Structure 1
Amino acid sequence: MKNELHTYLRDIRKVMVWKLDGLSEYDIRRPLTPTGTNLLGLVKHLVTVELLYFGHVFGRPVQEVVPWLRKDAEPNIDMWATADESRSDIVGLYQRAWAHADRTIDELTLDSVGYVEWWPDSEPTLHRVLVHVIAEAHRHAGHADIVRELVDGSVGLREDNDLMPPGDEEWWAGYRTKVITASEGFTS
């Protein structure tokens, strides 16, 4: 079971990095929602998630200095890239966070107990933490899907299979019109 869960985590990590491919620095950083959601910020946030849950929680903190993990860091600083944080810096740190997390996952058993100070039930097992991180990563991959579609129209879970029904631009325009028409009877 641990190998299956780990595979889901490894797969979604690749998806998150792939969502940045082919886009300018501006497009991966620009906020496209009222709350500032942006592609590089989602990746940066997942760095935080992996380092905290597979490091701090199991008494295996990463030795690398990560400024936004300090107690006095600006609120929400892990959700956007500052001007001095490059794509390669953040993606590189994400990949190092994977390696650190992978060692934790490989070396501990699923029933190993950690401590999560921000959870009321603060003694979760590696199994629970792994499921939690997979769920959070997939949630943010959904955000990335929407943001990427807003940037350049690209959609899908994987580069080789977008998991979308086949259709050209005209088909999608017709589909969208059907959805709009169906919703118009329900205006407030």
Structure 2
Amino acid sequence: MGQPPWTRDLRVRLDELLDQHRWSAHDSLKGMSEDEARASLVPSRTTLLGLVKHLTYVERFYFGHVLTGRSLKELGVAATPGHSFILRPGDTIESVQAAHRTACEESRAAVRGLGLEHVVSGRKVRSMWALYVQVLRELAQHCGHADILREQLLAARPRRTRVPSA
């Protein structure tokens, strides 16, 4: 019988929202220097570059680990969410953005063909719609953090070197 039309439309809209937030996070690093991207403006480990690295973890955790049951080690991500913010000496804007783009492509491939009612049982049992809502929550929260950090970094620049917000 297939899915009702509103369900197909909802899935399309959820995919659009995921991609809008993914690109917003990715582009938060646009025009930033490596030092600005690593700048610590809050007491936590949260930096602009660390946020994008963490969102790479989020993609792999939910659409790799939770969906498929693959181990975090196999997916090449940190063992905990807190550790996913830690920047290594070799992490650059280019390398973190590339890893993020790859993780997003892998996420899209993992969910292709799965309906929102599909039951995910890789890590624990839940529906695809619940997985989508969780990832959207994470993306929205961290995109907001990125907006604030980016605004602070741009405001700290000398007047002549400021670039418009992403």
Letter in 2 for 1:76: G
Question: For the structure 1 residues 57 and 68, does the alpha-carbon distance in structure 2 shift closer, same or farther, using more than 3 Å as the test?
Answer: closer
Deviations 1:87-135 (A, max 9, x none): 2221111111111110122221111122475xxxx42111111111011
Specify which of 136, 139, 144 is matched with residue 138 of structure 2: 136
Could you tell me which runs of 5 or more consecutive residues in structure 2 were left unpaired when the two chains were aligned. 1-9, 156-161
TM-score by length of 2: 0.80
Give the whole-Å Cα distance in 2 for the aligned partners of 1:91 and 1:28.
12
2:93 is matched with 87
The number of aligned residues is 151
What root-mean-square deviation, in Å, do the aligned CA atoms of Structure 1 and Structure 2 show? Answer: 2.7
- Measured after TM superposition, the shift of residue 58 of structure 1 is 1.6
1:145 is matched with 147
TM-score by length of 1: 0.71
Letter in 2 for 1:137: L
Compare relative contact order (CA 8 Å, sep 6+) and give the higher one, 1 or 2. 2
Which 4+ stretches in 1 moved above 2 angstroms?
60-69
Letter in 2 for 1:133: V
* Percent identity between the two aligned chains: 28
1:33 is matched with 42
Residue 70 of structure 2 contacts residue 122 of structure 2 at CA under 8 Å; is this kept in 1?
Answer: no
Letter in 2 for 1:35: S
Pairing of 1:37-48 with structure 2 (within 5 A): 37-48=46-57
Specify which of 9, 22, 25 is matched with residue 16 of structure 1: 25
Deviations 1:155-182 (A, max 9, x none): x9x74xxxxxxxxxxxxxxxxxxxxxxx
The structure number with the bigger radius of gyration is 1
Residue 48 of structure 1 contacts residue 78 of structure 1 at CA under 8 Å; is this kept in 2?
Answer: yes
Question: In structure 2, the residue corresponding to 1:37 is in which secondary structure?
Answer: coil
Pairing of 1:68-83 with structure 2 (within 5 A): 68-69=77-78, 71=79, 76-83=82-89
Specify which of 32, 43, 59 is matched with residue 50 of structure 1: 59
Give the whole-Å Cα distance in 1 for the aligned partners of 2:142 and 2:26.
12
Letter in 1 for 2:88: T
Give the whole-Å Cα distance in 2 for the aligned partners of 1:64 and 1:13.
23
Question: For the structure 1 residues 146 and 140, does the alpha-carbon distance in structure 2 shift closer, same or farther, using more than 3 Å as the test?
Answer: same
| Higher normalized helix content (fraction of residues) | 2
